[in-house]
Amino acid sequence: MYNPSLTESILIRGGRVIDPAHGRDETADVLIVDGVIQAVGRLEFTAQCRVIEAEGLVVAPGLVDMHVHLREPGQEYKEDIASGTRAAAAGGVTSVACMPNTQPVADDLSVIGYIQERARQSGVVRVFPVGAITKGLQGQVLTEMGLLQRAGCVAFSDDGRPVSDSGVMRKALEYSRMFSALLIQHAEEPSLSGGCMHEGIVSSRLGLPGIPSESESVMVDRDIRLVALTGGRYHVAHLSTRQAVVAVEQARRQGLPVSCEVTPHHFSLTDEAVIGYDTDAKMSPPLRSTTDRQALLDGLAQGVITVIATDHAPHDEENKRVEFCRAANGVIGLETLLPVSLELVRDGVMSLSACLAAMSCHPARLLGIPHGTLEVGRAADVVLFDPEESWIVDARQMQSKSKNSCFHGRRVKGRVKQTLVAGRVVYTDEGR
């Protein structure tokens, strides 16, 4: 996969090198030897080097997406590790954390081992399993998180099923604290979540049952209280509401080990995207109001929200091209992560370095993996992209098996030109 026998040296020459982990932003060269970053700066060319010309391009750490559904094992007709990692490479993503809602659930050593072996066989980027918090994602009996972490799990989550029992969540936080594991919660109060889109003016106009913002904020409030009680590390997946942003901000001010992520679709779209009953605008949590979206932008600008993740959720046509309320939740996002996130830079919400940090060193640190940086001595996971190239998103041309993109037809700026994993080129833009 990403650990080939390398004998050549590669010089990435003349790009704008941005490494947020070390505050670097300068025109420089990057020397890679045997898959490892050897030097960064103004370097001299030698005949032994293969040169990648990067003038006019940004050279950055390969992106780290901490919320991806690869669907293998069990739903390979939607996505598998081979296709999902190809999509990641096309999006400049070199490390993915794959969620445990597979079939069977990633709740024991055998499934984790299977995922790791399949990643070695067919993956083109790094794959880090996220283990389940409870067996079968049933919210009742805790998994052997300690053993799963030693086997390679970088975090734990019941993903689309929140741990709704407060006693179980308390025990999970207490148990995970023993080995400093990160718990990722899909924050949703099930008794408030019977609808199929955000509850508001748009849902009333469309005649669709709504999901109030409180369905998220109630769960976040509860969990933060349990974090204060236990000291466990807690991360809110795909934050979507103003109230939840406020709760996370208050928790961080108190010094609690609380973090959160936001998806590109939640910070760039609102519930108005559902007008027309477009099922590619159906996800969980749902697209929210303009007020909520602005709160997400403010949270990114102020550093309350530290991670941008895709919640890449592939679904086949059969599960998406049905009545809105019956359609599966979720959209693909690996191949649009970078250009949609760059809109934050053009709109003045974040600097380019801060934006890249939210997709590289910040998630890497939360997961405890040694990636998301161009530090000398680290594996050469690198993305080269043209921040000014304009293109129209065409889901039909994406590497993912599924085509359920909410950004199909959107004009974006910023295109990945090459992606390297451990010094090996795993994606090159062919001018599609």
Residues written for the chain:
432
- CA 41 → CA 1, 14, 56, 354, distances in Å? 29, 10, 16, 21
* pLDDT on residue 8: 78
Report H helices in 159-212.
166-177, 201-206
Averaged pLDDT for residues 195-215:
98
233 CB-near residues (< 8 Å, 6+ apart): 176, 177, 180, 181, 182, 183, 257
Q: What is the mean pLDDT of residues 136-153?
A: 98
**Residue closest to 30 by CA, chosen among 20, 48, 18:** 18
Average pLDDT over the chain, rounded to whole? 96
State the Cα–Cα distance between residues 158 and 188, nearest whole angstrom: 12
pLDDT exceeds 70 at position 344: yes
How does residue 362 score in pLDDT terms, banded at 50, 70 and 90?
very high
pLDDT at 152: 98
pLDDT of residue 5: 43
Q: How confident is the model at residue 7, as a pLDDT?
A: 53
pLDDT reported for residue 44: 80
Closest CA to 185 of 226, 214, 156: 156
245-291 pLDDT, tens digit each: 999 999 999 999 999 999 999 999 999 999 999 999 999 999 999 99
Q: Express as a percent the part of the chain with pLDDT over 70.
A: 98
Per domain, the residue ranges of the chain are 61-367
Residue with tokens 């910070």: 267
What pLDDT, in 10s, does the model give residues 76-123? 999 999 999 999 999 999 999 999 999 999 999 999 999 999 999 999
Task: Tell me the two tokens of residue 43.
Answer: 């370097």
Q: Which residues form the catalytic set? A: 311
Residue predicted with more confidence, 5 or 342: 342
Looking from the CA of 244 toward its CB, the CA atoms found within 13 Å total 34
Note the pTM of the prediction, 2 decimals. Answer: 0.96
Confidence of residue 2 (pLDDT cuts 50, 70, 90): very low
DSSP-based three-state secondary structure for 188: coil
Q: Calculate the dihedral angle through the C-alpha atoms of 323, 329, 331, 334, rounding to the nearest 10 degrees.
A: -160
pLDDT confidence tier of residue 6, bands split at 50, 70 and 90: very low
The average pLDDT across 195-207 equals 98
Question: Can you give the pLDDT at residue 430?
Answer: 83
CATH of domain 61-367: 3.20.20.140
Angstrom distance (rounded) from CA 15 to CA 112: 38
Judged against a pLDDT cut of 80, whether residue 3 lies above it is answered with no
pLDDT at 46: 72
Could you tell me the pLDDT band of residue 302, with boundaries at 50, 70 and 90? very high
Q: Contact, 116 vs 148, CB < 8 A? A: no
CA distance to 159, 217, 285, per residue, from 221 (Å): 18, 6, 16
Residue 183 gets which letter from DSSP? E
Please compute the mean of the pLDDT values over residues 345-360 and round it to a whole number: 98
Q: For residue 285, is the peptide bond before it cis, meaning its omega torsion is within 30 degrees of 0?
A: yes
Decide if pLDDT at 66 tops 60.
yes
What would the pLDDT profile of 14-49 be if each residue is shown by its tens digit? 999 999 999 999 999 999 999 999 999 998 877 688
Nearest-Å Rg of the Cα atoms of the chain is: 21
Find all residues with CB under 8 Å of 430, minimum gap 6, and list them. Answer: none
Coil, strand or helix at 210: strand
DSSP letter, residue 255: T
